[in-house]
Structure 1
Amino acid sequence: MRNRLILNYPASIWSARWKDALPAGNGSIGAAVYGGCCEETVMLTHENLWWQGTDDPVPDVSGRLPEVRRLLAERRAPEADKVLADALKERGYNPRVACPLPLGDLKWIVRAERAFADYSRTLDMETGLVTVAWADGDTRLKRELFVSRADDAVVCRLTADGPLRLGGVVWLDLHDIADARMPFGGVSALPTDAESFGEGAFVYYAARKDDGTDFGAVALVRAEGGELSPREKGLAYEGAASIQVVAKVFYDGDRSEAWPRLAAELADEASAQLGFSALLERHAALHAPIFNRMTLDLHADEAERSLSNEELLLRAYKGQAPVAMLEKMWAYGRYLLVSSSREGGNPSPLMGLWSGEYTGFWAFNMINENLQMNYWQALSGNMPETLLAVFDYFERLLDDFRENAARLYGCRGIYIPAPTSPQSGRIGIIYPHIIHWTGGAGWIAQHYYDYYLHTGDISFLRERALPFLMETATFYRDFFTIGEDGFYVSSPSNSPENTPGNYWSKLATGCEETTMETTINATMDFAIAKEVLTHLAEGMRIAGGYDEAEIAGWEAMLARIPPYQINADGAVREWMHPDFDDNYEHRHQSHVYPLFPGTEVTKEREPALFEAFVTAIRKRLVIGLKQQSGWSLAHMANSYARTGEGDLALESLDILARSCVLSNFFTVHNDWRGMGIGVDLEWAPFQIDANMGWTAALQEMLLFGVPGRLSLLPALPTRLSRGAAGPLLARGAIEASLEWDAEAGRLRAKLTAKAADADVAVTVPARFVPAGAPTEYRITLQRGQPITLAFTASEGVLAE
């Protein structure tokens, strides 16, 4: 039951019911099952169906950059804030980032004889199967659905076990037009020329998006023992023992071509007599191996694991998330990533694959935290292939990123704006805090190099990671200037998405009308640049074939990056410039990047600096708690896991569990003070990043590694005293499977080098070795040959 979600009621009767639905997906196609009995809705989506965006060339405003820098140097930051944004507007640039468009709804009517009873809806995360079940008198009805990874189709079956024969209607239509309502008022446009009808055993549906192209679906309906007849928009079924619907979708083109093509594909599959069970088996054979590559068992009580989501949430609301909820939320984040990310496609954006809004609220790919959080779990969770969609996506848009760099800043290399979409990588939001954040490409570059470190794939390093790192470093070479002290200056600069304290206080007293986020020398700028340059030089030497003088040129840039600065209160400064004071009342923690998600600063290497970063994190949980929401609490949990403070990491997840989690376990961007149970869905946007960040945080508590060093259970919370996990994947391409009993002082670790022989320093918590014994042990791993280490507080360390 660890990998199963159980709910006692269907999606909320409120609007935006898709936020309460149970999700299924194959990485490209998404389905959100509302869970109705007599009237069911399944929202369909596709990763490539986006609209309402523009893709106009970026005007060249790079000539205004000296003015921005001059104003900042003259301490006229509010004036500098608007220069580039206004320059773009003056040139007529009015961009818009595209947002996902719901493809449509699969609708069911099931004729009922009695009122429903014994209702449940479940999600089996190991297979991706969503089940809605209820009783109608003496008949047990069950509707099952999955999205096939093997056949690229939505597969659904309705069965009746008992005397009742099935009757009703099935059709396809536009997604619920109530979801055209937008937060804070307003109504989105709708697709045009919607059309649906039934013919023979097929239901056809299409509509037109704003670029004049069509999207839609074709569904094949099979009625076992019954009859089909056309009805308005779809097909009626009568006298059947079961109904099977297989739907294929298209997201671009013309309906007159797509309909016959998809119908032919469905007819071919029907001629092979592939029933529901056979189709599910084909899908699960691809889905389950990825999902099951790592397991987590926190020894939750079996009775607790059998509780519904609603019951677990009520227990979490009392103060602590039940252990069964910790397990299920971990598995859910994993399931959502597998279901919404696939090689060759697009990365999982802020709403994953399941946005039901016609104009999505923050529904794009956002890389000043959110997309990265979606993928923090991928490598440590032993699912590196899910990251390939990220690399594929950004490489498709490289020309746009080069254009941004050249026309905004007059630089070579690439500049990736915080929001992008598959339609365009050009800067699509011209707010100053978006324009002036230059760290996007560097943060994505971390994933490139981490992929190499976790997999040892030298071909990937040479062919994909190093070229991307070089494009990113080239931008820094052109963008940074040199100050009077010989160190680089980053101007304009931005620490996402924070306003310096000395400007924040003006806002609080009403002296300013807007935020002011344009600064000089945000700590994050230099942390990311240092990481990029370090990885580039290191990677070039590993890959070979590069001129040493070229490598030395990149390394020389490292010497010009200023050292981190510390406030009088002992916390690392967020801006390395005297004109900008720290502001702890904000959810972002951008300046702690060197500690997390970076690996530059560790307790072993730089203990004093490490403590300064720890102090900065603690300030956010104390002073800045009132600003925290779903994703930021997940970030906080990851940060505390990296500092070795497992109980504080788990406390962050507890707050998240009781304030920002819906009944289907989707997480929302809800201020924790807005309570939790009964979150107002009209406001709180669904954001999948906190789901993914939850999974990553638990993995951070269990394992941390850099090449040559592996820390086992570095932040084990007191409540998670027993468990088993693995195989996790660590930098250095090392797999680790762990079993522990903290109360008994026992830890068993199975370690395997996946790519090459490795000498590793393994550290363990003191509770797992005899008093006074070392907590660090050096071992040599030979590729592919596992070593098992047994640590015991009573007997010491044994190698098996």
Structure 2
Amino acid sequence: MSTHVPTRGVWTDSPAMKWEDALVSGNGSHGVMVMGDPVSDTIIGNHCRLYLPQGNRFDVPEMAAYLTEFRQIIEREGYDKALSFYYQKAKEQGYPGLLMSDPSHPGFHLHVETDHHSYYDYQRSIDYETGELMVSYQVNGQTFIRKTFVSQQTNQIIHCLSPGQYRISLQDYQQPLMKQTSMIHHHTMHTHFDYVHSDGGYDVLIDVKASNLQPLDDETGFHLQSDQPILITMEIRPYQQATDRSIIKAKTGKQLSYQRLFERHEKIHRDLFDRVRLELATDDQRKQPIWSLVDQAKQADQMTPVLLEKMYDAGRYMFICSAGELTPNLQGIWTGTFEPAWSGDFTFDTNVQLSIAGALSSDLAEGLNGYFRLIKELLPGFHENAQKYYGARGVLATAHSSNSGKHMHWNEDWPLVLWTCGAGWLAHWYYQYYRFTGDTIFLQHESVPFLEEIVQFYRDFLMEDADGTYRFTPSYSAENGTGDNATQDIAVAKEVLTNLIDAYQILGYSNEKINSFQMMFDKLPNYQINEEGALKEWLTPDKGENYNHRHFSHLYPVFQSREFNSETDPVMWQASRIAFDKRLEAWLLNEDGDTSSTHGRMHSALCATQFHMPALIDDIFRLLIANNCFFSSLMMSHYNEQNIFNVDGNGAMPQVVHEMLVDYSNNRLTLLGAIPSSIPSGTIRGVRLPHQVTVHQFTWDLEANKLELEIESQIDQELSLYLPLFKGSEQHLQHLQLVRNQKQSLHIELAK
């Protein structure tokens, strides 16, 4: 049997038993999941715009009038009493209590049925390089193949069946919050979905090309019989208002073959995927089935080079498939259920940020267009949140959003409306986009206006203590507790003001405004260190630490803003390291930690790259493997044992790999800063760094004590070189002078 085994991809020898384990592909608007059962297969169509209105009233309560009293109760009696007061006032206005966003939902389930009960030589695969999904098997010596991709060129889901007899049908969802009607016209199925609680909905158009097809009696599918390959094209068209519906017309004229459609798509997808490449294994190793590779890693009790390469590729594949019209949500662009965990929404207090963590360094900057588009669509709600909760101008971001940017996800136990740094964290990528691309038009028209809105909020929200120092009251360290001056609040405000000052200087704006921003920066409180020598999570004097927690919010200056390092502020760096060590002891490496959490492990890894802890990187990788935190597609789970399909870990994985190999911040180029012993050699190509730097090739061999670097900058600049794990290697390589658009090569002997 001759079948395709992808070198850059995964395959397994059994069908999926649950939707989370399906093959996945996407183009940033449409997504598809294929279960792969030869007898009774299911193709699940997804679209990034499908969020099912629940009929909840998203009316933000008018809380600004109670802010002064709320703050007074905080000062006199503490946060518990204040929250009780605040929540009661909201309830008196009709606030219903903590609401989830409208949930992400599938667009359709298309069932493909055959009489192929006695099949053998089964295989299903994802080719990350092309986005093609393939299912193959044999029946009575005949090979049957099913191929699927989501076209980057036509924006359709394309499916091909081998010649034969099939029955295909659309599932009647029987979903009480949608009305579903179907009809067939010639070779086209058209199903229309109206949302009960909004004027929106969507249409599904499925066109079937086969030599002989008969409609089913209920007009939800066809009986197919064909001596030629059967081509099925599927499309989801969402709309917000009935008047926005496009006119559905069956396609006429000559239909291109699957192969021609695939060739046009493949060129676009492959270009995106091939921009960056990690090479840690041989093709023979890459062609092994995914669960064999996982078993080998479990037996070795550590990540293997070939499995890390697969997980790295899977992370970039997830982003390519899920980012485009919008940005990846908790589940990327995929779901098979109407009841996803946390609504499968855009969760902004850590998850969205991790899902896009590797976009810029992976040379996928255009993938962030959907992120910027999403935030722009949510801005009216963000403005309303700021005005109604705090009487402030500017923006207050939500913790959870889908169809609305209004903040309705909070109560006494989860006071996320007190988490005011969300918009500032989102703004991190607005300025990073400029740092990676040098796009001053984007800086002026997108980055600066958003940063200015955040600063407007700070001007109205921040209080001043007697000595003129700002105080964040209320304040919340997501999702770990309340207390004045949460460290993340201060860190994000510092980054926002720093980036806005830099942007004004770059664009030649007036010194008057720059000086006003600098005055605000100078009023921000200093970080504090507790009696154990650790960076405090809250600056409230009598508030203790809760180290047993999955969030790493107070280490924002380390893993995200890169505010300081061991050279620029050794005291604060050491305090941050102690705080990190205590989090590791109480949570990450503690079997009795409060929960398992892939996003917590990824933030641990992003901190470990900065603290140059290669053994910890190995530990984190081992935990993911030992606890079965991914499916056969290598899309990850939120909890251990494949519990809850969730892609934030996938988005973060490429960034972890980049940072442990080659990293840049504070004018310092760090090489092999956290390279684990399990990855003794390899090559990576195409990584992008801030300040418009491209790493064309980076090769390392720890056994031979050598590394080679080919690097290029689009601007003239000088970098210091840093090899923290190989101190003696830096003696004759203190600085690297990069000349615009000139490649430079380095060959370094690593000190043992």
Q: Shorter chain as normaliser: what TM range? A: over 0.9
Local SS of the residue matching 1:739: strand
Letter in structure 1 aligned against 2:557: P
Match status 1:649 vs 2:604: no
1:115 equivalent in alignment to 2:136: no
Q: In the alignment, is residue 153 of structure 1 matched against residue 156 of structure 2?
A: yes
Q: Decide whether aligned partners of structure 1 residues 253 and 428 sit closer, same or farther in structure 2, where only a CA change above 3 A counts.
A: closer
Instruction: Number of aligned residue pairs: give it.
Output: 730
CA contact (8 A) 1:42 1:105 kept: yes
Residue deviations 1:318-354 (CA, integer Å, cap 9, x gap): 4223221111111011001110111xx2211111110
Q: Does 1:229 align with 2:214?
A: yes
Name the CA distance, whole Å, in 2 between partners of 1:196 and 1:34. Answer: 24
**Residue 528 of structure 1: aligned partner:** 492
**Preserved CA contact (<8 Å) 1:350 1:366:** yes
Question: How far is the alpha carbon of 1:174 from its aligned partner?
Answer: 4.1
Say if 2:266 is the partner of 1:284: yes
| d(CA) in 2 for partners of 1:790, 1:98 | 54
Which one of the candidate residues 791, 795, 798 is aligned to 2:748?
A: 791
Aligned to 2:372: 391
Q: Percent identity, aligned pairs only?
A: 29
Q: Residue 104 of structure 1 contacts residue 216 of structure 1 at CA under 8 Å; is this kept in 2? A: no
Counterpart check, 1:79 vs 2:51 = no
Provide the rounded CA distance (Å) in 1 between the counterparts of 2:716 and 2:138.
Answer: 59
State how far apart, in whole Å, the 2-side matches of 1:592 and 1:519 are: 16
Correspondences of 1:428-447 after superposition (within 5 Å): 428-432=408-412, 433-447=415-429
Q: Measured at CA, do residues 293 and 167 of structure 1 come closer, stay the same or move farther in structure 2, by a change above 3 Å?
A: same
Structure 1, residues 171-202: CA drift from partner, whole Å, max 9, x if none? 22345x7xxxxxxxxxxx54443233443211
Cα distance in 1 for partners of 2:406, 2:244 equals 32
Is contact 2:395-2:454 (8 Å) kept? yes
Q: Of residues 246, 250, 262 in structure 1, which corresponds to 2:233?
A: 246
> Which residue pairs with 1:104 in the alignment?
108
- 1:218 alignment partner in structure 2: 205
Residues in 2 aligned to 1:476 and 1:28: alpha-carbon distance in whole angstroms: 35
1: distance between equivalents of 2:68 and 2:321?
Answer: 46
In structure 2, the residue corresponding to 1:720 is in which secondary structure?
coil
Match of 1:69 among 50, 58, 71: 71
Task: Output the amino acid matched with 2:426.
Answer: I
Query: Structure 2 matches for 1:489-508, cutoff 5 A?
Result: 489-498=471-480
Deviates more, 1:758-767 or 1:242-251: 758-767
| Cα deviation, residue 708, structure 1 | 3.1
1:559, CA displacement in angstroms?
Answer: 1.2
Aligned pairs (5 A) from 1:168-317: 168-174=166-172, 190-210=176-196, 211-223=198-210, 226-232=211-217, 233-252=220-239, 261-264=247-250, 266-267=251-252, 271-298=253-280, 300-317=281-298
The Cα of 1:717 is off from its aligned counterpart by 1.1
**Which residue of structure 2 lines up, in the alignment, with residue 347 of structure 1?**
327
**Secondary structure of 1:108's match?**
strand
- AA in 1 matched with 2:159: C
Deviates more, 1:586-595 or 1:566-575: 566-575
Deviation (angstroms), 1:577 = 1.1
Query: Whole-Å Cα distance in 2 between the matches of residues 277 and 691 of structure 1?
Result: 30
1:666 counterpart (616, 635, 638): 635
CA change 1:258–1:407 in 2 (3 A) is: closer
Compute the displacement of 1:75 (Å): 3.8
Tell me what 1:5 maps to. Answer: 10
- Who is 2:341 aligned against? 361
Residues 290 and 367 of structure 1: CA distance in aligned 2, closer, same or farther (over 3 Å): same
103-112 vs 27-36, which moves further: 103-112
Determine the structure 2 residue equivalent to 1:181. Answer: none
Quickly say closer, same or farther: Cα 1:775–1:77, change in 2 above 3 A.
Answer: farther
The answer (yes or no) to whether the contact 2:276–2:363 under 8 Å persists in 1 is: yes
Cα distance, 1:52–1:316 mapped onto 2, change above 3 Å = farther
The normalised TM-score by structure 2 is 0.93
Q: Distance in 2 between matches of 1:250 and 1:72?
A: 49
5+ residue gaps, structure 1, are 161-165, 178-188, 499-516
Q: Paired residue for 1:128?
A: 131
Aligned to 1:186: none
DSSP-derived class of the 1:24 partner: strand
Structure 1 residues 492 and 745: CA distance shift in structure 2, 3 A: same
Q: Distance in 1 between matches of 2:294 and 2:503?
A: 46
When residues 104 and 765 of structure 1 are mapped into structure 2, their CA distance, relative to the original with a 3 A threshold, is: same
Q: 1:439 to 1:48 in 2, by over 3 A?
A: same
Go from structure 1 to structure 2 and tell me whether the alpha carbon gap of 1:68 and 1:262 turns closer, same or farther (over 3 Å shift): same
The alignment partner of 1:595 has SS state of: helix
Per-residue CA deviations over 1:720-754 (Å, capped at 9, x if unaligned) read: 11111121111111011211112111111111113
Residues 641 and 700 of structure 1 are in contact (CA less than 8 Å); yes or no, is this contact kept in structure 2? yes
Partner of 1:616: 579
Query: Would you say the 8 A contact 2:326–2:369 is kept in 1?
Result: no
Bigger Cα displacement from structure 2, 730-739 vs 311-320: 311-320
Per-residue deviation, 1:787: 1.1
Question: Which amino acid is the alignment partner of residue 575 of structure 2?
Answer: A
- Structure 2 gap segments, 5+ residues each: 1-5
Choose from 739, 743, 750 the match for 1:782: 739
Give the corresponding residue for 2:501. 537
In 2, are the aligned partners of 1:707 and 1:731 still within 8 Å (CA)?
no
Residues 427-467 of structure 1 deviation map (CA, whole Å, 9 limit, x = unaligned): 12132421110010000111111111111111111111011
Q: How far is the alpha carbon of 1:157 from its aligned partner?
A: 0.4
Which letter does structure 2 place at the counterpart of 1:199? H
Per-residue deviation, 1:125: 0.6
Report the equivalent of 1:568.
531
Tell me by how many angstroms 1:643 deviates. 1.3
The offset of 1:93, in angstroms, is: 2.8
Provide Cα deviations, 1:755-781, integer angstroms capped at 9, x if missing partner: x222222333564x8x57516432332
- Find the aligned partners of 1:562 and 1:91 in 2 and give their Cα distance: 35
Distance 1:348 1:733, change over 3 A: same
For 1:15-54, list aligned pairs within 5 A: 17-53=18-54, 54=56
Aligned to 1:513: none
Shift of 1:258: 5.9
**1:722 touches 1:742 (CA, 8 Å); kept in 2?**
yes
- What is the Cα-based RMSD across aligned positions, in Å? 2.1
Conserved 8 A contact 1:703-1:712 = yes
Task: Check the 8 A contact 2:53/2:177 in 1, yes or no.
Answer: no
Q: Select 1:742's aligned residue among 692, 696, 702.
A: 702
Distance 1:404 1:783, change over 3 A: same
| Aligned-residue offset at 1:685 | 1.8
1:637 counterpart = 2:605: yes
Deviates further, 607-616 or 457-466: 607-616
Q: Summarize deviations over 1:540-577 as a string: whole Å, max 9, x none.
A: 10111x22111101111111111111122221111111
Task: Please show how residues 671-686 of structure 1 align to structure 2 within 5 Å.
Answer: 672=640, 676=641, 679=642, 684-686=643-645
CA shift digits 1:390-435 (9 cap, x unpaired): 11111222222111101101111111111111x2111121324211
Report the Cα offset of residue 204 of structure 1. Answer: 2.0
* In structure 1, C-alpha distance between the alignment counterparts of 2:729 and 2:45, rounded to whole Å: 59
Deviations 1:63-95 (A, max 9, x none): 111122112112422111233333222111335
2:100/2:400 contact within 8 Å kept: no
